[in-house]
């Protein structure tokens, strides 16, 4: 994990309100693929279909031993639908990594325009490349004879700040332009997976089939770890079975959550009774 991917557990403070969401107890920040990219400046790893979705990660766990585990508390429901806190144990390596649905977004391949010319006409920058990139690609494809493309009758003219050239090498005895190969390799974004087909003299880049994105995965995600409840907090089940937290020290609202008849309830019934009596 890169050094800047930091996500330690942070115990949230108690809210000064009668009710709040169980996510207000969360120890970690939850990420989407977009928010992860915006926060850390890198793309999250591809979705792993062998795991369930997981929107959080703990950068403090010890992953030095594959047998290490991490232990957390999570909100669950008992057989009667009441909220409870239970223990969740998982491999430390899983705790340290996220598993976000969605397709990886590869950065676009940008070809910088050039002022280089040949015979008075500007060269097409797609066919230009750095010598280091040309050497690397030639080695990868098993080519030979790296050199610049030159036409004696129409010599190329390069500005002093243009490091690229029209490099080519021989693949199975046939010349191939490096810039054009780089352009096709990165057509779906820089780093998009694929492989070279070298069954013919002209190498062809073949993109890999789309990887699973997890967007159709219906399995429940990994639960979010939460802090322990404070003495003046308890879980309650609200409308549609949604779990929440209630402050028991805020008595009237706590009574409403538990079904106790409150002074406000009595006042409302009194008003209804008086109104009916006047009919």
For residue 278, the model assigns a pLDDT of 46
Where are the chain's structural domains? Answer: 22-104+213-230, 117-207
Instruction: State yes or no: pLDDT of 243 exceeds 60.
Output: yes
| Distance in angstroms (rounded) separating the CA atoms of residues 192 and 208 | 8
Please count the residues of the chain.
279
Tens digits of residue pLDDT in 48-62? 999 999 999 999 999
Coil/strand/helix, residue 274:
helix
State the DSSP H helix or E strand holding residue 257, giving kind and residue range, or none if neither.
Answer: helix 251-258
| Distance in angstroms (rounded) separating the CA atoms of residues 150 and 74 | 68
For residue 192, the model assigns a pLDDT of 94
| Distance in angstroms (rounded) separating the CA atoms of residues 279 and 274 | 9
Q: Are 74 and 225 in contact (CB under 8 A)?
A: yes
Cα-Cα end-to-end distance for the chain: 74
Give the residue-averaged pLDDT of 208-215.
92
Query: Which two three-digit tokens encode residue 56?
Result: 């959080």
Q: Are 138 and 182 in contact (CB under 8 A)?
A: no
Place of tokens 């009596």: 277
Tens digits of residue pLDDT in 170-193? 999 999 999 999 999 999 999 999
Instruction: State yes or no: pLDDT of 223 exceeds 80.
Output: yes
């Amino acid at each position: 994990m890169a050094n800047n991917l930091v996500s330690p557990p942070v115990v949230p403070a108690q809210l000064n309100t009668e009710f709040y969401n169980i996510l207000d107890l969360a120890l970690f920040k939850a990420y989407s693929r977009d928010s992860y990219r915006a926060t850390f400046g890198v793309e999250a790893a591809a979705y792993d279909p062998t795991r369930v979705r997981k929107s959080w990660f703990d950068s403090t766990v010890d992953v030095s031993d594959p047998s290490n585990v991490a232990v957390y508390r999570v909100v669950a429901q008992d057989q009667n639908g009441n909220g409870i806190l239970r223990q969740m144990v998982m491999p430390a390596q899983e705790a340290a990594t996220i598993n976000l649905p969605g397709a990886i977004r590869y950065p676009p391949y940008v070809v910088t325009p050039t002022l280089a010319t040949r015979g008075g006409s500007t060269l097409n920058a797609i066919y230009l490349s750095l010598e280091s990139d040309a050497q690397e690609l030639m080695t990868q494809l098993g080519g030979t004879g790296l050199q610049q493309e030159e036409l004696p009758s129409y010599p190329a003219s390069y500005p002093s700040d243009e490091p690229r050239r029209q490099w080519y090498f021989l693949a199975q005895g046939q010349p191939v332009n490096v810039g054009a190969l780089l352009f096709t390799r990165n057509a779906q974004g820089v780093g998009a997976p694929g492989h070279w087909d070298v069954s013919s003299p002209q190498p062809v880049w073949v993109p890999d089939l789309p990887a699973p994105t997890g967007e159709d995965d219906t399995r429940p995600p990994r639960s979010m770890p939460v802090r322990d409840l404070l003495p003046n907090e308890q879980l309650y089940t609200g409308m549609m079975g949604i779990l929440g937290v209630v402050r028991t020290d805020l008595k009237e609202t706590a009574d409403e959550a538990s079904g106790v008849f409150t002074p406000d309830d009595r006042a409302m019934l009194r008003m209804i009774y008086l109104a009916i009596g006047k009919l």
